[in-house]
Structure 1
Amino acid sequence: MDVSIKPIIYSALFIALISIGAMIAVPVGPVPIVLQNMFVLLAGLILPPAWAAGCVAVYLLMGFAGLPVFAGGTSGIGKVFGPTGGYLLSYLPAAFLTAVISGRAAKSLVRDCGAAIAGMAVMYMFGVPWLKWVLAVSWGKALAAGMYPFVPGAVLKIIAAVIIARKLRPLIRF
C-alpha cells in the first residue's frame, strides 16, 4: 500500500493552525472571538472531506485530553458541557460539509463561498442552541450572545478563508 505522507503533513498543519487560532481569543461574553473557526473552514476548503474532518477530530481529542488548544489556552472534556461546547462539536461536521460542497473538481469562487458559508452556518446551528440550553436563556439572548456580534467577523473570516484557499490550492497536491 502506497500511502502519501502529504495528507498527513497537511492535516498536522491544520491541527496546528486551528490550535493557534484558538489562542487568539477576545472575550466578549460567554463565547469569545477566535480564529479557529476560520482555520476549520480553510481545512474544509483545502483538504478532502475525510482528512478535513479527521484533522478537526484530532484537534478536538487533543483538547478533550487536556492539551491547551481551546479558546484562550483552555482544555478538557468539561468544555463540551460549557457555553462553547456546541461550537467546538460543530467544527467536525462544518469541516466535512465545507469540504464536500467545495469538492475536489474544478473550484469556482461561488462554490467555495457557498461551502464556507454553509460551514459557518453549521457552527451557528450547533453553537447557538447549545448556548441557549447551557445558559438557560431565551432564543433572543442566545442569538445576542452567540451569533449577532460575530456575524461581521464571520463574513471577514469566510472571505479570508476563501482567498487563502484559492491561493494555496495550486501549491498543494495530494
Structure 2
Amino acid sequence: MKLSTKDLIFVAMGASIMAVLTQISIPFPVVPLTLQCFGAILLGTIFGAKLSTMSILVYILLGAVGIPVFSGGRSGFGALFGATGGFIFGFILLAFGSGIASNFSNKKIKIGIVYISLISQYLVGIVQLAFITKSSFAEAVIMGIGVGGVYLIKDIVLGAVAIFVGQKVKYQLKRTLAN
C-alpha cells in the first residue's frame, strides 16, 4: 500500500487530534469520561476508513512506546493490556466503521453504521474489562457503559455531533485542497 505525502500528513494529524481529545477527561471510577469516541468518529468521518484506522494505529503505537497519549496521561503496555485497554483497541473498529459510514449519503444508514461501530468498540472494551477484572460479563457491562449507561449515552450523543462536525470539516478540507 503506497501512501502519498498528503495521506501521511493526514494520518499524523489524525493521531495528534486523537491524542489531544483523549486528554479532555473527567475522572470516573474504572473508565474515565473522555472525548476519545468523539475523536475516532470524527477521524473516520473526515479521513475515511483507511486513513482514520491508520491514525488510530499510530496513536496506539505512540502510547505503547511510552508517549503519554492515553487518557490521564497514561502510556505503555500496562495501559493497553490493563482493565480499560480494550476500549483503546476498540477505537480501531470505531474509526474504521465511521470511515465506511462516511461513504454513505443516507443519514440513517450513516448513523446506523457509526452506532454499530460504537457498540463494537464498547464490546471489545467490555470483554477485556471482564477478563482483567475477573468480573462477570454483566458486571463488566455496568462498569463499561457506566451506571445508567452514562458513558454510552454520552458517546451516542457526541457521535452524532462528531458526524456533523466531521462532514463540515471534510467539506472545507476538500475545498481548501482543491485550490
Q: TM-score when scaled to structure 2?
A: 0.87
**1:41 match:** 41
Greater Cα shift, 158-167 or 106-115: 106-115
Asked whether the 8 Å contact 1:45–1:115 carries over to 2, the reply is no
Listed as ranges, the gaps of 5+ residues in structure 1 are none
**How has the CA–CA distance of structure 1 residues 131 and 5 changed in structure 2, closer, same or farther, with 3 Å as cutoff?**
same
**How has the CA–CA distance of structure 1 residues 166 and 48 changed in structure 2, closer, same or farther, with 3 Å as cutoff?**
closer
**1:117 match:** 115
Determine the C-alpha separation between the residues in 1 that align with 2:59 and 2:80. 14
**2:51 match:** 51
Determine the C-alpha separation between the residues in 1 that align with 2:116 and 2:52. 15
What is the identity, as a one-letter code, of the residue corresponding to 2:93?
P
**2:173 match:** 172
Asked whether the 8 Å contact 2:47–2:170 carries over to 1, the reply is no
**How has the CA–CA distance of structure 1 residues 112 and 71 changed in structure 2, closer, same or farther, with 3 Å as cutoff?**
same
Asked whether the 8 Å contact 1:49–1:99 carries over to 2, the reply is yes
Listed as ranges, the gaps of 5+ residues in structure 2 are none
Secondary structure of residue in 1 paired with 2:66: coil
Secondary structure of residue in 2 paired with 1:116: helix
Asked whether the 8 Å contact 1:31–1:84 carries over to 2, the reply is yes
Q: TM-score when scaled to structure 1?
A: 0.89
Which residue among 113, 127, 132 is the counterpart of 2:130? 132
Aligned residues, how many?
A: 171
Determine the C-alpha separation between the residues in 2 that align with 1:158 and 1:3. 28
Displacement, 1:3?
A: 6.2
Asked whether the 8 Å contact 1:38–1:157 carries over to 2, the reply is yes
**1:15 match:** 15
**2:139 match:** 141
Determine the C-alpha separation between the residues in 1 that align with 2:49 and 2:164. 19
Displacement, 1:48?
A: 2.6
**How has the CA–CA distance of structure 1 residues 109 and 15 changed in structure 2, closer, same or farther, with 3 Å as cutoff?**
same
Q: Runs (4+) of structure 1 moved beyond 6 Å? A: none
Asked whether the 8 Å contact 1:50–1:96 carries over to 2, the reply is yes
**1:62 match:** 62
Determine the C-alpha separation between the residues in 2 that align with 1:31 and 1:138. 17
